[in-house]
Structure 1
Amino acid sequence: MSISCQKHLFSLESGIHYINCATMSPNLKAVEEAGFKGISQKSQPHLITQETFFDTTQPVKEAYAKIINCPDPERIALIPSTSYGMAIVAKNLAKKPHLQAGQEILMVQEEFPSDVYAWEEICQEKGLIIKTVAAPNTLQHRGKIWNESFLNAISANTCMVVISPTHWADGTRFDIKAIGEACRSVGALLVLDGTQSIGAMPFDVQQIQPDAIINVGYKWLLGPYSAGVAYFGPFFDEGTPIERNWINRVGSEDFKNLINYQTAYRPKADRFNIGERSNFILNPMLTTALGQITAWGVANIEAYCHQLLEKPLQILQENGYWVDDLPHRSKHLVGLRFPKHTDPVKIQQALKERNVLVSFRGEAIRLAPHVYNDQNDIDMLLEGLLAF
């Protein structure tokens, strides 16, 4: 099955060429509608029952579990942000068996800040070291060399690997299957930031076997801001949550007995849900978005993005731009490097004049299309990039 342009399903202003899903997706009209319905529900509080507090959460967990091929939705928690999810991991890393001072948390260079700041306290407390694997100082076979360097850096002294399958700034694709196997061979935890990959690049949790996945919802999951999801594997089953809220405790669905305070948490990932996780506005919006992704098929979304960019990238390379080779870059998020002697400021201005929205991250122009983009969007992108 293939899909055609789905622009008509989104609320995008006409004449805007938005090729920037890696920053924030536009809303599907159906997601907007779900949000409006949730807002109006609060106007009728007598219709909100104790069952309602649970009815909004389970669909999110089930929909995300389907996208990552997780057979157990109870391994999914609701979180508001990457920093929140990574804080849960940090809080529980201290319980890792045989954790010792001098062991390393392994990351790639220029990882997203929330994936870096999370470890400051645990490193100070336990004497752990953050080790980063730098990108190659050459563009030739850049992704291939970076992958090899990262795999070679995993050792018996690695206590945890934190990595994004797709680098958020330039689209470098990391071989997380091989990385996962290397982690298991040395007893290291594997923690993934799925924000820039899951939803636009096929992912199978049973094949990769990560210990945790942290995933915000407002980018490739097409959901609202401040609504995200996380997967937590068996390592976290008896873990300590950030919040000690009431709804994550055993028996919380029985409101009349809430004053019979419980020490036990609900099983698996349910202990890690954010407080007020029953959000009657954001949860239905995210559920609707995840359902649409499933209906399209993640592989089809990736194929659509690849089809949009394949020929234009060839044209850009012929005109001096650099892009890494497949399979060492993703198909939905691509980092372009400027030709020599090109003025980036002039390129930015040319794109702005044509209402083309992309991101500039580090030394790369980040292209991030989705199924709401069409050939006209790409033509305007090319016109701007080739203006000088």
Structure 2
Amino acid sequence: MTLKPPERSAKAMTDYRALFDLPPDTAYFNAAQVGPLPIKAAEAGHAAYRDKLRPWGHTTTQTFFDLPESVRAEAAKLFGAKPDDIAIVPAASYGLATAARNLSLKPGDEIVILDGQFPSNVYTWRALAKETGAQIRTVKRETEQTWTNALLDAIGVRTALVACGALHWIDGGRVDLEAVSKAARAQGAALVLDLTQSLGVMPFDVKTIDPDFVVAAAYKWMLGPYATGYLYAAPRHQDGVPLEENWINRSDSQDFSRLIDYRDTYDVGARRFDMGERSNHQLLPAALESLNLLNGIGVDEIARQCAATSTLIKEAVAPLGLCADIPEQAPHYLSLSLPDGAPADLAAPLREHDVHASQRGPRLRISAHIYNTADDVDRLVTALKAILG
């Protein structure tokens, strides 16, 4: 995909807003909850629904096989992986359940997770612990401590699995995945990552981190449709057991004339872990356009843009008493402490000003993406001044 170079502003921010259907007076800082579809992705989705009106217009190969392979190839770039290493899944929970099914634990083993970790990345491991006799070890962070150091302190001889993300979804504190991976490997422990809150906006490379499994839902930072996501399975696990026994993840499934020549062998690589109906004819065209956009711009540029916006916000809101005080906060993910007297839910009055963010406990979570501009920052600051007085 070739993108026309956008114009750069004096503040080293790039204007990608025209790629999205965002009203000029709307400041949307909530990609961590739901990312807006790019215009081209929405158009691709609309076209896919129109195609369903007359399904004879496309060949079986195009809709069932070419489309998911194109999505797989684009998604693989964000992982630093090969297309063969990627499975198409509907949710992070599906990918985590796949990982759990293919990891061997025994009584007394420890599964290390973060305190307050996203529920899907907790319930999966509670179920596995109950099934195997392993134990959950929940890592808490001291006020001035980084999540990385808290994790490293917890990994020990009983650690059999570390499950985390590249940052904490509530406070945005970053996790040094390379350091955690080395510590886990030193104990012979597996590493399973949920990168829903970072893939596509923070550089990542499976060759450097060497995880066992990595999953990411696509509807947030990857700007894709809901119920789309991607699972990386390390080559050492690609002979594992899928959650489903569906027809399309079997070898030679492209030959419709021989579908009832039942076979026990799977398609190559991580395709055995694909969800049933993985060729989702209505969602994948939109997902593909979103992936094309991210890869066309490049993760390094996206990370730079998000960091520039976050820096503007931190500097602008500090005089109002909002402070980015989480150690090693991820550059695209602000969790701001609030001044005394702030509303219990600051996100609600912000919405009245057409400024959109999230409240997580006593903190305001601001998650900017490539569509945010310096004007959005001004709208945020103006609204905060009006609310806080």
Give the TM-score taking structure 2 as reference length: 0.92
Matches of 2:128 and 2:345, distance apart in 1: 44
Corresponding residue SS for 2:240 = coil
Corresponding residue SS for 1:130 = strand
Report the CA distance between 1:318 and its aligned residue: 4.0
Residue 55 of structure 1 corresponds to 66
Report the CA distance between 1:280 and its aligned residue: 1.3
Residue 100 of structure 1 corresponds to 106
Residue 290 of structure 2 corresponds to 289
Residue 153 of structure 2 corresponds to 152
- Equivalent positions of 1:1-388 (< 5 A) are 4-52=14-62, 53-70=64-81, 72-93=82-103, 96=104, 99-136=105-142, 138=143, 141-142=144-145, 144=146, 146-324=147-325, 328-339=328-339, 341-345=340-344, 347-386=346-385, 387-388=388-389
- Letter of the structure 1 residue corresponding to residue 22 of structure 2: L
Contact in 1 for aligned 2:325/2:337 (Cα 8 Å): no
- Letter of the structure 2 residue corresponding to residue 330 of structure 1: A
Matches of 2:341 and 2:298, distance apart in 1: 39
Corresponding residue SS for 1:51 = helix
Report the CA distance between 1:131 and its aligned residue: 0.9
Report the CA distance between 1:124 and its aligned residue: 1.4
Contact in 1 for aligned 2:30/2:366 (Cα 8 Å): yes
Corresponding residue SS for 2:279 = coil
Contact in 2 for aligned 1:193/1:214 (Cα 8 Å): yes
Report the CA distance between 1:352 and its aligned residue: 2.5
Corresponding residue SS for 1:106 = strand
- Letter of the structure 1 residue corresponding to residue 41 of structure 2: V
Matches of 2:122 and 2:195, distance apart in 1: 15
Matches of 1:307 and 1:362, distance apart in 2: 26
Report the CA distance between 1:325 and its aligned residue: 6.2
- Letter of the structure 1 residue corresponding to residue 317 of structure 2: L
Corresponding residue SS for 1:210 = coil
Report the CA distance between 1:283 and its aligned residue: 1.1
Report the CA distance between 1:321 and its aligned residue: 2.4
Q: Deviations over 1:276-306 (max 9, x none)?
A: 1111121111111111111111111111122
Report the CA distance between 1:210 and its aligned residue: 0.9
Matches of 1:362 and 1:190, distance apart in 2: 29
Say if 1:237 and 1:343 are closer, same or farther in 2 by CA, change over 3 A.
Answer: same
Contact in 1 for aligned 2:346/2:359 (Cα 8 Å): no
Contact in 2 for aligned 1:347/1:384 (Cα 8 Å): no
Matches of 1:255 and 1:337, distance apart in 2: 58
Report the CA distance between 1:14 and its aligned residue: 3.7
Matches of 2:187 and 2:235, distance apart in 1: 17
Runs of 4+ in structure 1 deviating by more than 4 angstroms, as ranges, are none
Corresponding residue SS for 1:303 = helix
* Percent identity between the two aligned chains: 37
Matches of 2:346 and 2:129, distance apart in 1: 42
Matches of 1:125 and 1:65, distance apart in 2: 32
Corresponding residue SS for 2:359 = strand
Q: Unpaired segments of 5 or more residues in structure 2? A: none
Contact in 1 for aligned 2:172/2:326 (Cα 8 Å): no
Matches of 1:276 and 1:174, distance apart in 2: 34
Contact in 1 for aligned 2:346/2:364 (Cα 8 Å): no
Contact in 1 for aligned 2:225/2:287 (Cα 8 Å): yes
Q: Unpaired segments of 5 or more residues in structure 1? A: none
Matches of 1:249 and 1:124, distance apart in 2: 31
- Letter of the structure 1 residue corresponding to residue 74 of structure 2: A
Q: Deviations over 1:285-340 (max 9, x none)?
A: 111111111111111111112212213313433443221367x111111110112x
Contact in 2 for aligned 1:161/1:191 (Cα 8 Å): yes
Contact in 2 for aligned 1:236/1:268 (Cα 8 Å): no
Corresponding residue SS for 2:372 = coil
- Letter of the structure 1 residue corresponding to residue 355 of structure 2: V
Say if 1:321 and 1:266 are closer, same or farther in 2 by CA, change over 3 A.
Answer: same
Aligned residues: 376
Q: Deviations over 1:49-79 (max 9, x none)?
A: 3312101111111101112221x21110000
- Letter of the structure 2 residue corresponding to residue 370 of structure 1: H
Q: Deviations over 1:163-188 (max 9, x none)?
A: 11021112110000000111111111
